[in-house]
Structure 1
């Protein structure tokens, strides 16, 4: 395993992302189609010193339209843990935005091909970032 890759973690609820990167990369796979669980896990990691490397609302699909999300975070660079204020503000804003969109219109209960399509879209959003790390 490339040493550089140990300094990052992918948080995802997308099995395609997990299947693509878990052999070579630290991937936290959250079972199920719960976008908010990914956001909340990212917030937990940020409070332990991780830094947001990709935006949790990336892409042009509204957060209440897709059930899948993948976020890249970097590990704390030292044993001294401090919360990255910018990352915390970004994740808190993303959670508030997600909740606001859900109030207006809940995420549909997608099935079949639509689920596969949303997983593929999410994978395609993280793939260019991952290629830069390799």
Structure 2
């Protein structure tokens, strides 16, 4: 299996997995942390954005990255950040359903890690 790290602001993920970079803040702060790692030679193994628009309102996000660089990583993260900003507009993350989003993020991450192994 490829060496990986999980970039997350989800406490549920932080409790379950050891290979993490903890991010303070919301979903967009996770995207910024992933972008910063890409500039250091990492690349995303999971897409920075969720498959569902509704999940973009989530305050939490987890992204798996690896140290193997990839030419398209810059484009992927730039497009992800742009789409996130356009989708959210003036909206704020949905903290009312935070516990549900934490659980969904953890389950989606676990499934992704199983697919990667």
Q: Please give the TM-score of this superposition, normalised by the length of structure 1.
A: 0.77
Distance (Å, rounded) in 2 between the aligned partners of 1:92 and 1:133: 24
Q: Residues 92 and 62 (structure 1 numbering): CA distance in 2 closer, same or farther, change over 3 Å? A: farther
* Residue matched to 2:6: 10
Report the RMSD for the aligned CA atoms in angstroms: 1.9
* Residue matched to 1:31: 24
Give the drift of 1:63.
5.5
Within 5 A, what are the aligned runs for 1:57-76? 57-62=49-54, 64-76=56-68
Q: Structure 1: which 4+ aligned runs deviate by more than 2 Å?
A: 61-64, 104-108, 131-134
Total equivalences in the alignment: 117
Does 2:16 correspond to 1:20? Answer: yes
Distance (Å, rounded) in 2 between the aligned partners of 1:121 and 1:93: 23
Q: Mind listing any 5+ residue stretches in structure 1 that lack a counterpart?
A: 77-82
Which structure's CA Rg is the greater one? 1
Contact 1:63–1:101, Cα closer than 8 Å, also in 2: no
Q: Mind listing any 5+ residue stretches in structure 2 that lack a counterpart?
A: none
* Residue matched to 1:46: 38
Q: Residues 105 and 64 (structure 1 numbering): CA distance in 2 closer, same or farther, change over 3 Å? A: farther
Q: Please give the TM-score of this superposition, normalised by the length of structure 2.
A: 0.87
Does 2:114 correspond to 1:131? Answer: yes
| Larger CA deviation: 8-17 vs 56-65 | 56-65
Q: Per the alignment, in what secondary structure is the counterpart of residue 64 of structure 2?
A: strand
